[in-house]
Amino acid sequence: MNRKKHALAWMVVTVLAAVALVVWLGPSGPLHRMQPAPRTPFAPLPPGVTPTLVSDQDLVERAQELDGQWVTFQGEALGDLMMRGESAWLNVGGAGYAIGVLMPRAEAVKVKILGNYRFNGDTVRVFGVFHRADPAQGGDLDIVASSLEVVKPGEPRPDPRAGNRVYAAAGLSLLALALFLAAHLVRRRSEGGEGHLGNAGH
Amino acid sequence: MVRRPHLEDFRVIGHYTGIIINGLGLAMLAPLLTALAFAEWAVAVDFVISLAVAFILGYGLLLVSRPRRHDLSWVQGMVVASFSWLVGMVVGALPYYLSFHYRSFLDAAFDVMSGFTTTGLVLIQDLDHVSNGINMWRHVLTYLGGQGMVVLALTFLLQDAAGAFKMYVGEAKDERLLPNVVHTARTIWFISLLYLAVGTLLQGLVGLSIGMQPVRAFLHGLWIFMAGWSTGGFAPMSQNVLYYHSALFEAVTVLFFVAGSYNFGLHYAVWVGKRDELVRNIEAVSFAITSTLLGAVVIAGLERSGTYANVATLLRKGYYLLISGHTTTGFQSIYGRQLALEWGDLALLGVITAMLFGGSAVSTAGGFKGLRIGLIFKALVQEVRRLLAPESAVVVEKFQYMREVVLEDGSVRNALLIVVLYLAMWGLGTAVGVISGFPVREALFESASVTGNVGLSDGVTSAAMPSLLKTTYIVMMWAGRMEFMSVLALLGFIWAGVRGK
């Protein structure tokens, strides 16, 4: 009975808190006045508007100031081109941050090489509206781009590793093998002899 | 009088540390095979070097440390746990350092400790161009760290380790799911591997549905699951979960990181049919209450600061970050600087509190732990009841923790002691952050994230931060994950070596 009482008590507390939250978030609560901003996706650049050239640093550090403005952003196409119906998400990397760019599928297909371990991706320039917390995309910081152009095609990444690492690997492996065998021999001998600890892993 | 450690103490510690380092070496097979599968030959060579170094160290320790007795004392068990994590950090950092993605060995060691302790803060450079092999290692490290390196060794390498329970406790796990600690360790791995299969499949399918190519969808699915279940918070891309731009992807991560933050004992209880434990367990209750109340604080804070333009956005960003912080996962769906620049003080206060509270004991999570929050609350209730009851009355408080347990003063004292140590460490981390030149607000947040092994960042953690702060954070991550006791045992052991008789 006591257990049931306790279980009931915490459930009541949690439900009350949740109800309070719902009421507060509901039609009569202070959040009611917060409405999603209407938006036409992929709107063309309005006449007379010159997009601001921005860096990734600007977009993150000066997000409030740039929110809602037309911007031009250039960087490396990274990772995956995620097609979602007639739209596509592409993450474009700058010097410090990668920025999510939503664009029409027709623009996205211009990207041929995506950045990864083997390749530096295409350098792309996008034109679009910057959103500090895009209400249509769950609050993501993004650029909704109307167009994309490939400024420079991607290329293979050079590997900075020296070739002589193979010799180091071979030498160290031989030493490890020798110690592995020695440890096994010692264990066998001690198991047959005075009963040293020989219980594990070697 | 402090007893100077005997040669036998060093033998025992060296022996078990050697086994654990061998276990870590074996774990490098996963990234090695990944590198081979994706024809990343240079990366594969780096892993062969690192694996060989691990075995040289591991088998070298086994050869020079041959104890006469099987069993461990409490101090030895604790020292093995804390010391092996330090040695593991150095060995685990080798492939990182060889990859040219780190500015220094200290940075590589930082990321290993961050992975082991399931913190999730990173100093890696150019993460978006990291090989599959290195990414596999990052996530294997955090997955191993979540279950515990000692648990790994107990599962696969130690068949009849007498006194192994003391190492297990040294790794901040004190609940035996089964009478035998080796069986307990295996059960922990069974639970984790079962979730791994389901989680990878589900996360991979979601990856496919959001437009990723099949191989990448399932690789990312595997890694994100590993990081989520371990409450680690690593991700293969620099934007963390923001990279995927998908509410569904985020929702699936929540399922697994909340599950990972629950006590393995609770998973086991549900597995064997005791489903009512889910609603009665003190930690489950504590988490439900604190996450609801702190959620309200975060939402109120965000509403006050006007950070998000509509309710759906506010709930998605606010709750995701709160639950990610509360479970000590550290998955982040906004940029760290947005936290510092756009989230108001009240919302940050809610997240900081959640990060400090943390998840459950004997789980992959960090922080104070729901058990301790629950115990302290119960003790408070008991004191109030004592005040109100007649003097002759005996006031007994009980709580549900796999079974009904009577609240004892000793348990409450231990809980309070650990919480005080966490708070002191949080203060220390904040002080070093401020000394390093960061604003108090940002230092407070980052220090709470490190203290609770969370991994949310407001931008303080970067390769550019001073070495003093990096080293402080490494020690904090380590001590926090070990819940202090085995770290204190190691320090005591060193002290005894210097001053003992």
B45 closest CB neighbour out of A2, A166, A186: A166
3-state DSSP call for residue B429?
Answer: helix
Size of interface A-B (CB pairs under 8 A): 224
Inter-residue contact B336 to A60 (CB < 8 Å):
no
Query: If we measure between CA atoms, which residue out of B5, B151, B62, B157 comes closest to residue B490?
Result: B5
Within 13 Å, how many C-alpha atoms sit on residue B118's CB side? 34
For residue A195, the model assigns a pLDDT of 46
Residue B391's pLDDT is what?
A: 85
Whether A88 sits inside 8 A of B211 (CB atoms) is yes
Distance from CA of B59 to the nearest CA of A (A): 6
Query: Is the pLDDT score of B439 beyond 90?
Result: yes
Nearest to B53 by CA among B104, B85, B15, B92: B92
Of the listed ranges A194-198, B276-280, B447-451, the one predicted with least confidence: A194-198
pLDDT of residue B174: 64
Q: Is B468 exposed, middle or buried (0-12, 13-18, 19+ CB in 10 A)?
A: exposed
In tens, the pLDDT along B346-366 reads 999 999 999 999 999 888 889
Question: Is B123 in contact with B130 (CB distance < 8 Å)?
Answer: no
Q: Could you tell me the pLDDT band of residue B73, with boundaries at 50, 70 and 90? A: confident
Q: Is the minimum CB–CB distance between B304 and chain A shorter than 8 Å?
A: no
Instruction: Compute the nearest-CA separation of B481 from chain A (Å).
Output: 25
Which of A5, A15, A34, A109 should be substituted to probe chain B, the one whose Cβ sees the most B Cβ atoms within 10 Å? Answer: A34
According to the model, what pLDDT value does residue A196 have?
Answer: 44
Query: How far away is chain A from the Cα of B425, in angstroms, using its nearest Cα?
Result: 30
Question: For residue A32, which amino acid is it?
Answer: H
Of B23, B53, B292, the CB nearest to A18: B292
Task: Label residue B445 by pLDDT band (50, 70, 90).
Answer: very high
Q: Identify the three-state secondary structure at position A54.
A: strand
Look at residue B133 in the predicted model and tell me its pLDDT: 98
Confidence of residue A14 (pLDDT cuts 50, 70, 90): low
Q: What percent of chain A lies above the pLDDT cut of 90?
A: 62
Residue A115's DSSP bridge partners are A78
Query: Sign of dihedral through CA atoms B338, A56, A122, A49?
Result: positive
B215 lies within 8 A of chain A by CB? no
Query: Structural domain boundaries of chain B?
Result: 7-260
From A77's Cα to the closest Cα of chain B, the distance in A is 10
Which has the closest alpha carbon to B191: B116, B121, B251, B266? B266
* Tokens 């406790």 found at: B169
Q: Are B194 and B108 in contact (CB under 8 A)?
A: no
Give the β-pairing of A52-54 and A70-84.
parallel
All residues of chain B having their beta carbon less than 8 Å from the beta carbon of residue A4 are none
Check if the beta carbon of residue B108 is closer than 8 Å to that of residue B13.
Answer: no
**Pair B81, B486: CB distance under 8 Å:** yes
Check if the beta carbon of residue B131 is closer than 8 Å to that of residue B40.
yes
**Token pair for A197:** 């600890």
Instruction: Report residue B325 as tokens.
Output: 């912080």
Compute the nearest-CA separation of A49 from chain B (Å).
Answer: 25
DSSP labels for A100-150?
EEEEEHHHHTT----BSSSEEPPEEEEEEEEEEEEGGGTTEEEEEEEEEEE
| Residue B74: predicted pLDDT | 84
What does the pLDDT read at residue A27? Answer: 47
Q: From the CA of B424, how many Å to the nearest CA of chain A?
A: 30
Q: What is the pLDDT of residue B35?
A: 97
Please give the biggest Cα pair distance in chain B.
Answer: 76
What share of chain B has pLDDT > 70, as a percent?
94
Amino acid type, B427: G
Average pLDDT over residues B320-333: 96
Contacts of B70 in chain A (CB under 8 A): 197, 199
B50, β-bridge pairs: none
Q: Rounded to whole angstroms, how far apart are CA atoms B363 and B416?
A: 20
Q: Which of A20, A100, A201 shows the shortest C-beta gap to B242?
A: A100
Check B160 against A202: CB less than 8 A apart: no
- For residue A20, list chain B residues with Cβ-Cβ distance below 8 A: 296
Three-class SS state of B454: coil
Q: Are B359 and B349 in contact (CB under 8 A)?
A: no
Contact across the interface for A37 and B309, Cβ inside 8 Å: yes
pLDDT at B37 over 50: yes
Please say if the pLDDT value at position B264 is more than 90.
no
Over residues B134-145, the mean pLDDT reads: 96
Binned at pLDDT 50, 70 and 90, residue A46 comes out as: confident
Continuous H helices in chain A: 2-25, 56-61, 63-66, 105-108, 165-192
- In this complex, the residue of B48, B280, B314 whose CB is nearest that of residue A173 is B48
Report the DSSP beta bridge partners of residue A127.
A72, A147
First to last CA, chain A: 54
Mean pLDDT, chain B, whole residue set:
92
Tokens 């001998």, located at residue:
A189
pLDDT exceeds 80 at position B129? yes
Residue B41 CA: distances (Å) to CA of B44, B99, B231, B301, B413: 5, 12, 31, 50, 54
Contact A90, A113 (CB under 8 A): no
**B312 close contact with A: CB closer than 8 A:** yes
Q: Are B108 and B102 in contact (CB under 8 A)?
A: yes
Q: Using a CB–CB cutoff of 8 Å, tell me whether A29 touches chain B.
A: no
Tell whether B333 lies on the interface with A, counting CB pairs under 8 A: yes
Compute the nearest-CA separation of A7 from chain B (Å).
Answer: 6
* Residue A28 touches partner B, C-beta closer than 8 Å: no
Q: Which residues contact B157 (CB under 8 A, 6 or more apart)?
A: A200, A201, B19, B22, B23
A198 vs B386, which has greater pLDDT? B386
Whether the predicted pLDDT of A202 surpasses 50: no
Q: What are the pLDDT digits (tens) for B156-201?
A: 666 555 666 667 676 766 666 666 777 777 888 888 889 999 999 9
Q: Name the residue facing A133 among B15, B129, B307 (closest C-beta).
A: B307
Alpha carbon dihedral B139, B142, B145, B149, in 10-degree steps, equals: 20
- Does B29 contact A at CB distance below 8 Å? no
Point out the residue among B49, B238, B307 whose CB comes nearest to the CB of A165.
B49
What does the pLDDT look like over A128-156, one tens digit per residue?
Answer: 999 999 999 999 999 999 999 999 999 99
| Cβ-based contacts of A19 with chain B (< 8 Å) | none
**Rg of chain A in Å (alpha carbons):** 29
Instruction: State whether residue B159 sits within 8 Å of chain A by CB.
Output: yes
Residue B381 scores a pLDDT above 90: yes
Orientation angle between helical segments B7-27 and B132-147, nearest 10 degrees: 130
CB contact under 8 A, B48 and A169: yes
CA distances from B86 to A92, B17, B93, B112, B404 (A): 37, 10, 11, 10, 37
Interchain CB distance below 8 Å, A141 and B59? no
Which of B67, B211, B316 shows the shortest C-beta gap to A197? Answer: B67
State the residue for tokens 């930690």: B283
Asked whether the beta carbons of residue A161 and residue B46 sit closer than 8 angstroms, the reply is: yes
Tell whether B13 is within 8 A of chain A (Cβ): no
Alpha carbon dihedral B452, B458, B460, B461, in 10-degree steps, equals 60
How many residues are given for chain A? 202
Answer for the pair B263, B283: CB distance below 8 angstroms, yes or no.
yes
Residue B242, pLDDT score: 97
B377 and chain A: CB distance < 8 Å anywhere? no
Residues 420-459 of chain B with CB under 8 A from chain A are none
Q: How many CA atoms lie within 13 A of A167 on its CB side?
A: 3
Q: Which of residues 58-117 of A touch B (CB under 8 A)?
A: 60-61, 63-64, 78-84, 88-89, 91, 93, 97-98, 100, 102, 115-117
* DSSP letter (8 states) at residue B158: B
* Higher pLDDT among residues B306 and B68, named by residue: B306
* pLDDT at residue A189 in the model: 85
Among the partner-chain residues A2, A3, A31, the one whose CB lies closest to the CB of B311 is A31
Interface membership of B296 toward A (CB under 8 Å): yes
Distances (CA, A) of B31 to B28, B116, B303: 6, 16, 44
**This model's pTM is above 0.80:** yes
Token readout for A126 is 């996008």
Name the closest residue on chain A to residue B126, using Cα atoms: A96
